[in-house]
Each structure stands twice: as structure tokens, then as C-alpha cells.
Amino acid sequence: MGNTRGSVRFVVAVVGVVVVAVYAALLALNALVLDPLAAVPGRSLAQIYARVDAMGSSSTGNVRGVLVVASIGVALAVAAAVVGLAARLPATVIAVLHLGVLAAGALATFQSGFFLGMDVADSFMTDGAAHTIWAGVLHLTSLAALVAIPAVLFATMIQTRSTQRQQQPAAG
């Protein structure tokens, strides 16, 4: 039959890393491509980056900054998976660790908007707000993860109590 619990833990760990990686990829895509194009309609990405550089900012530095922020989330997710599997933590704990990384992604999304976003705003005299729906999608994903943490923990507590009651011998 195999080790079902170990398999579930492994699947939860891998899925957690994949979900965080997709979140990080969307964060980077939005901050580096989608939002600048939406902020300055009619300009190509190359034109936007060239203007940012011409105004004295570093588009290369902005790209590095966003990629570092996105990579930190992925590294945290991998660390949560490795530690969770090595320590044989329950699948629910591994899931909660990944949900925590996703919840913290709201801060990364907010911060990543300051790299290229502010330089585009300064270079083209636009506002520094988010110009696409994707920042909102990332923030709502983080909010859903934050709400899911106590929900998963509560469901686990209820399941554990139910299992304990079923295993207790009837009082005579």
C-alpha cells in the first residue's frame, strides 16, 4: 500500500513551492512588464526602459531588485518544503508554512512596485499607483492565504479532537 502520509506530505510540499513560484513569477511579470506598459500606453517596453535610464535611473537595478524580491519568496517556499519533509511535519503544517509565504507576498508585491514603478512615474510624469489588475490579484491571493491559515488550523484541530474521541474507550 505504501506510505500514504509521506506521499501526501510530499505532494503538499511540492504544490506549495509551485504555487509560490507562480505567485513570484506573476509578481515579476507585473512589476517589470505589464505595469510599465499600462502606465505608459503607446510606448514599447524598450522605450520605457530607455527613458528610465536616460532620466538617471537604472532599469537594470530595478529588474535585479524585483527578481531578488521574487526569488526570496521562492527560496522561503523551498526551505519550508525541505524543512517540513526532513522534520516529518504533518501535511497541514507544511501547507500552513506555504500559506504564510503567500500571505507575506503582499508585502513583496507592494515593495516590488517601488523599483521600476516609481522610476516610470518620475520619467513619464504618471502616478506611482498600480496600473493593472494583477497587483490586486496578488494582494487578494495573499489575503486568501492569510484567511486560510486559521481555517486550516481550526479544521485540523476539529479533526484531531474527533479522532481522539473515537479512540477513547467508552466510560462504563
Q: Which domain range does residue 154 map to?
A: 4-167
| Domain assignment present for 157 | yes
| Domain assignment present for 123 | yes
CA separation for the pair 104, 17 (Å, rounded): 14
CA separation for the pair 157, 2 (Å, rounded): 26
Amino acid at 74: V
Tens-digit pLDDT profile for residues 54-81: 999 999 999 999 999 999 999 999 999 9
Across 30-34, average pLDDT: 98
| Domain assignment present for 65 | yes
Across 18-39, average pLDDT: 98
Tens-digit pLDDT profile for residues 116-164: 999 999 999 998 889 999 999 999 999 999 999 999 999 999 998 988 8
Report pLDDT for 1: 40
This prediction's pTM: 0.91
Report pLDDT for 102: 98
| Domain assignment present for 8 | yes
CA separation for the pair 141, 155 (Å, rounded): 20
- Model confidence at 167: pLDDT above 60: yes
Across 31-51, average pLDDT: 98
Among the residue ranges 8-12, 14-18, 155-159, the one predicted with the least confidence is: 155-159
The pLDDT > 90 percentage for the chain reads: 87
| Domain assignment present for 172 | no
Q: How many domains does the chain have?
A: 1
| Domain assignment present for 139 | yes
